[in-house]
Amino acid sequence: MAFVQSVQKAQVLVRCQLCVSETKIKWKCVQCSLLLCSKCKEIHLKATNPSDHKIVDIKDVRPQDESKAILSFSEINCPDHTDNLCVLYCKSCDTPICIKCVTKTHKGHNLVDEDEYNDELNGKIKTMKLNESEQQQKPTIKVIRKYTTDFRQIYAMVSCSFDSLWISDLLQNVIKNVKLKNDNIQIITEFNISVYDMTTTNNNLLVSVSDESRLKILKKGSRQISQSNYNVQPLCTWGVHVTRDQKIIIGAKTPRSGYRTGSQLVIAMDEKGNNLQKFEHDNNNKLLFTLPFRITSTSNGNIWMVDMLNEDGRGRVVVLGQAGNIIHIYNGHPEVKDHLILQVY
Q: Model-level pTM?
A: 0.58
The pLDDT of residue 288 is 86
Q: Please tell me the distance from the alpha carbon of residue 103 to that of residue 107, in angstroms, as a whole number.
A: 5
Q: Do strands 195-201 and 55-57 pair parallel, antiparallel, or not at all (unpaired)?
A: unpaired
The pLDDT of residue 327 is 87
How many other C-beta atoms are found inside a 10 Å radius of the C-beta of residue 232? Answer: 24
The pLDDT of residue 7 is 41
Q: What is the mean pLDDT of each run of 10 residues along the chain (345 residues)?
A: 40 59 75 79 76 74 47 76 86 84 85 85 69 64 85 90 84 92 86 94 90 93 92 94 93 81 89 93 84 90 89 84 85 55 41
The pLDDT of residue 125 is 64
What residues does CATH 2.120.10.30 cover in the chain? 154-343
Give me the CATH topology for the region 2-137: Double Stranded RNA Binding Domain (3.30.160)
Sheet of 27-29: strand order equals 34-36, 27-29, 55-57
What residues does CATH 3.30.160.60 cover in the chain? 2-137
Asked if 317 and 306 count as a contact pair (C-beta separation under 8 A), the reply is: yes
Collapsed DSSP state (helix, strand, coil) of residue 135: helix
CA dihedral sign, ordered 308, 313, 317, 322: positive
Asked if 29 and 36 count as a contact pair (C-beta separation under 8 A), the reply is: yes
DSSP string, 208-269: EETT-SEEEEE-TT-SS-EEEEEE-TTSEEEEEEE-TT--EEEEEE-TT--TTSS-EEEEEE
Q: Which residues pair with 190 in a beta bridge?
A: 176
Q: What's the CATH code, domain 154-343?
A: 2.120.10.30
